[in-house]
Amino acid sequence: MADLWYKNAVVYCLDVKTFADGNGDGIGDFEGLAGRLEYLDGLNVDCVWLQPFFPSPMRDNGYDITDYYGIDPRLGTLGDFVEFSRRARERGIRVMIDLVVNHTSIDHPWFQAARSDPASPYRDWYVWSKKKPEDAHQGMVFPGPQQTTWTWDRKARAYYFHRFYEHQAELNITHPAVRREIEKITGFWLQLGVTGFRVDALPFLIEFKGTPQEGLGNPHAYLRELRQHVQALCGDVCLMAEANLRPEEVPDYFGDGDKIHMSFDFWTNQHLFLALARQDATPIRRAAAELPPLPRWCQWNHFLRSHDELDLGRLSDAEREEVFRAFGPEECMRLYGRGIRRRLAPMLGNDRRRIELAHSLMLTLPGTPVLRYGDEIGMGDDLSLPDRESVRTPMQWSAGPNGGFSHAPREQLVLPPIADGEYGYPALNVEAQRRDPQSLLNWLERMIRRRKESSEFGLGCCTWIDTGHRELLAHRCDLDGRTVFAIHNLADRRLRFSLPISDARGVYDVLAEHREEVEEDGHYHVDLEPWGYRWLRRDDG
């Protein structure tokens, strides 16, 4: 099973810049991160996914890269990276990094060469048009701040294509030299100790739009090519896609298990928040039923929040309004008309029961959970910051200056830590929660341990159970003759449920750690408190 490690892993996502500052310049760095490896080890995560740490003018939080083979000098050196990845590996923590090759920064030397000289070999690495295409005002990833997807470049005397901001020029994936370069980039980082890549903006990366091959060939075939390359270099490599897929698109991305390994399940994620808003489990079951089964080697990634807005773009307008009303009632909490730029805890009213319920769902839905730094202590957001920076404030380690993130003067910090109120670092930080056995941090640490003892959730076969209550979600996961059940009450009232277990004499409550007998009628009666949850193991002993 070793080569399926990613199917039963717990992934922790962080941004080096905002995690821990080792050299006191106000910006998180690899030295600081390496000093927090014990913390990540203690949390029992299997893998860290690092957001972009490459040289960048930072017009899009590092998703605008000027050198794929380097480290932003403020974050450290390649030597620091290798030392970090080696020390992580010694602790059994794998490292995944962002692969952002849909576009480069327009400051990248490739684009500078391409725009300056039509005869440059880099000209065809990008997507150009002499005339402004008619659909130039469609398909923006950031509608509002971004007005167009084609921008005139005076030097090149042509329009260049950009799905994202105009400073992020689209690479031409149909060009063999670009594909060859991506092979070099992935090969380089695999050699430096990473085990995989979170592939940024995957549907846009593979599209042929604007290229001479638009409408020709199958863009998804490239995924097989990329997979073969990385798999040849690293047997246990994992490609984790950022792809907000509709159910009918799923087979194109996973193939027969020979394309990507995992993908973030945006589909279920959006329906999960609809379910929480409605106190009705139906949207989660419906979403799960709509997704096609994945090939054996593949997996979904479940998550609650990310570094971006909570994207609700796949819901109907009415459904999205419901989630807005529940979790983003004010205009300043919303973004691009499709999402919510808040952290999890404030969205759920800092209600411990609802925060636990959401995490229990993430940990038990069949897939690999991805935690976002800070959510393990219930960090808040700062809506006074622009755009998505609201959910990117520094990690809150202690009640000390700058929340223990950095010794630098406050005005030097990469982003201000949240300092006031119930989410401020004096009240909410790792150090305080470590001391408190009942804290969210210690609760989640225990939950992760239970999750890792229950590999059925990651590797098993999932069956949904009819509960007779629309507020109750119940499913069982079976693996090698072992079974765990997860039951979640999405309602704010107590509910009673009879779980059918005709094939066992008892159940073991995984979280409360005690055994119960199954009734003679082959049912186990469960009382669920408001927003309650149970993990039960079939027990024949």
Map tokens 């950095």 to a residue: 406
Structure tokens at 180: 């060859």
- Residue among 21 and 309 whose Cβ is closer to Mg ion: 21
Nearest approach, Cβ of 35 to Mg ion (angstroms)?
A: 11
Q: How many whole angstroms separate alpha carbon 353 and alpha carbon 462?
A: 25
- Residue among 30 and 122 whose Cβ is closer to Mg ion: 30
Of 123, 99, 114, 253, give the one whose Cα is nearest residue 183: 99
Nearest approach, Cβ of 77 to Mg ion (angstroms)?
A: 12
Nearest approach, Cβ of 76 to Mg ion (angstroms)?
A: 8
With binding defined as CB under 5 A, does residue 34 bind Mg ion? no
With binding defined as CB under 5 A, does residue 16 bind Mg ion? no
- Choose the stretch contacting Mg ion; rule: CB under 5 A; options: 22-30, 254-262, 287-295, 504-512: 22-30
- Residue among 22 and 196 whose Cβ is closer to Mg ion: 22
With binding defined as CB under 5 A, does residue 29 bind Mg ion? yes
Q: Which of 25, 258, 387, 445 binds Mg ion (CB under 5 A)?
A: 25
Nearest approach, Cβ of 25 to Mg ion (angstroms)?
A: 4
From the candidates 64, 200, 375, 539, which is the catalytic residue? 200
How far lies 426's CA from each of 378, 391, 398, 433, in Å? 14, 18, 7, 12
Q: What is the CA radius of gyration of the chain?
A: 24
- Choose the stretch contacting Mg ion; rule: CB under 5 A; options: 26-34, 143-151, 242-250, 314-322: 26-34
From the candidates 80, 98, 207, 242, which is the catalytic residue? 242
What residues does 299 pair with on adjacent strands?
262
How far lies 210's CA from each of 161, 172, 374, in Å? 7, 9, 40
With binding defined as CB under 5 A, does residue 363 bind Mg ion? no
Nearest approach, Cβ of 392 to Mg ion (angstroms)?
A: 16
With binding defined as CB under 5 A, does residue 412 bind Mg ion? no
Q: Closest residue (Cβ) to Mg ion?
A: 29
Q: How many whole angstroms separate alpha carbon 320 and alpha carbon 290?
A: 19
Assess whether 200 carries a catalytic annotation: yes
Q: How many whole angstroms separate alpha carbon 458 and alpha carbon 368?
A: 6
- Residue among 378 and 394 whose Cβ is closer to Mg ion: 394
Helices of type H across 301-439: 317-327, 344-347, 352-364, 430-435
- Choose the stretch contacting Mg ion; rule: CB under 5 A; options: 28-36, 81-89, 290-298, 322-330: 28-36
Assess whether 214 carries a catalytic annotation: no
- Choose the stretch contacting Mg ion; rule: CB under 5 A; options: 23-31, 82-90, 310-318, 342-350: 23-31
- Residue among 16 and 298 whose Cβ is closer to Mg ion: 16
Helices of type H across 305-371: 317-327, 344-347, 352-364
- Choose the stretch contacting Mg ion; rule: CB under 5 A; options: 27-35, 149-157, 378-386, 469-477: 27-35
8 Å CB contact between 99 and 58: no
Residue 23 CB neighbour total at 10 angstroms: 17
8 Å CB contact between 363 and 457: yes
Q: How many whole angstroms separate alpha carbon 161 and alpha carbon 322?
A: 35
3-class secondary-structure state, position 447: helix
Q: Which of 10, 16, 20, 21 binds Mg ion (CB under 5 A)?
A: 21
Q: Which of 9, 13, 16, 27 binds Mg ion (CB under 5 A)?
A: 27
Pairing of strands 196-199, 238-241: parallel
Nearest approach, Cβ of 306 to Mg ion (angstroms)?
A: 24
Q: How many whole angstroms separate alpha carbon 311 and alpha carbon 411?
A: 31
- Residue among 29 and 265 whose Cβ is closer to Mg ion: 29
- Choose the stretch contacting Mg ion; rule: CB under 5 A; options: 15-23, 260-268, 287-295, 506-514: 15-23
How would you classify residue 540: left for phi > 0, otherwise alpha for psi between -120 and 50, otherwise beta? alpha
- Residue among 25 and 83 whose Cβ is closer to Mg ion: 25
Q: How many whole angstroms separate alpha carbon 81 and alpha carbon 71?
A: 8
The kind and range of the H/E element at 152 are: strand 150-153
Nearest approach, Cβ of 29 to Mg ion (angstroms)?
A: 4
With binding defined as CB under 5 A, does residue 23 bind Mg ion? yes
Q: Where are the strands (E) in 356-471, listed by range?
A: 368-372, 461-464
- Residue among 210 and 403 whose Cβ is closer to Mg ion: 403
Residues that bind Mg ion (CB under 5 A): 21, 23, 25, 27, 29
Enumerate the active-site residues: 200, 242
